[in-house]
Amino acid sequence: MAKKTYDLLFKLLLIGDSGVGKTCILFRFSDNHFTTTFISTIGIDFKIKTVELRGKKIKLQIWDTAGQERFHTITTSYYRGAMGIMLVYDITNEKTFDDIVKWLRNIDEHANEDVEKMILGNKCDMEEKRVVSKERGEAIAREHGIRFMETSAKANINIDRAFSELAEAILDKTSGREADADHARIAVERRPSRAPPARACCS
């Protein structure tokens, strides 16, 4: 058995209506400098990315829903083992934003209760077509005590940052759990996780 070359492994999922750009978050063929015809035909199942946080080497395994975006098809088995969920809507499509609430309910029903969530308003490079304001995104995130960020997979805005922040949030939780392992589990009041300071995503 080869020695372990990392400290932690986090499984992350991308969830949201179809067309919000989940696949582009995972698979950026659109703005590629050359066309990987073969890979784009088959599509990506998952990726492994390595990040370093607080001196720890963390492997992220990131899964796409691969077109099974209807609520009834995403059930417990899909969520199994997931430690983080990126909940994605499209800022140019009202319905995808409205569905965030349904997705949150689906997560509550099927995912591990302490799964770390983050809401992403994607396609923020398409300002002229925007129908969901950033404030509304921030508001719903605040209401549910979830982190929020606007991203553009196409323009590669905030994508890496979103993954690092989600990983960091899981790390916070994990290290807390390790430290408390000897004690009986006490329900600790969850600090309402503030949405990160609004950073202008696209000008």
Partner 1 sequence: MSEVENKVVPVESEEKDYVEDGKNKLIVKCKFCGSKILDKKSAKYITLEKELPLMQQDNNRKEGEIQNESVNEFYHVENMYTFENIGFTHTVANCKYLSCADCDAGPVGYYDMETKHSYVAISRIVHA
Nearest to 18 by CA among 61, 64, 63, 60: 64
SS3 102: helix
Residue 47 sits in the site that holds partner 1 (CB under 8 A):
yes
Long-range contacts of 136-140 (CB under 8 A, 24+ apart): 136/97, 137/89, 137/91, 137/97, 138/195, 138/198, 140/97, 140/100, 140/101
What distances in angstroms separate CA 105 from CA 58, 111, 144, 175, one per listed residue? 29, 10, 11, 27
Interaction residues for partner 1, span 4-43 (CB under 8 A): 5-6, 9, 26-29, 32-40, 42-43
133 binds partner 1 (CB under 8 A): no
Closer of 13 and 140 to partner 1 (Cβ): 13
Nearer to partner 1, 146 or 171 (CB): 171
Tokens coding 156: 């590669």
Q: H helices of 111-151, where?
A: 134-143
CB of 117 to partner 1, least distance (A): 23
Write down the least CB distance from residue 46 to partner 1, Å.
6
Pick between residue 107 and residue 167 the one whose CB is nearest to partner 1. Answer: 167
Q: x/- binding map, residues 52-81, to partner 1, per CB under 8 A?
A: -------x-x----x---------------
Rounded-to-integer distance, Cα 144 and Cα 1, Å:
43
Cα dihedral value 202, 83, 117, 161, nearest 10: -20
CB of 32 to partner 1, least distance (A): 6
Minimum distance from residue 25 beta carbon to partner 1 (Å): 12
- Measured from the CB atom, the residue of 62 and 91 that comes closer to partner 1 is 62
Of 8 and 126, the one with the shorter C-beta distance to partner 1 is 8
Q: Which residues bind partner 1 (CB under 8 A)?
A: 2, 5-6, 9, 26-29, 32-40, 42-50, 59, 61, 66
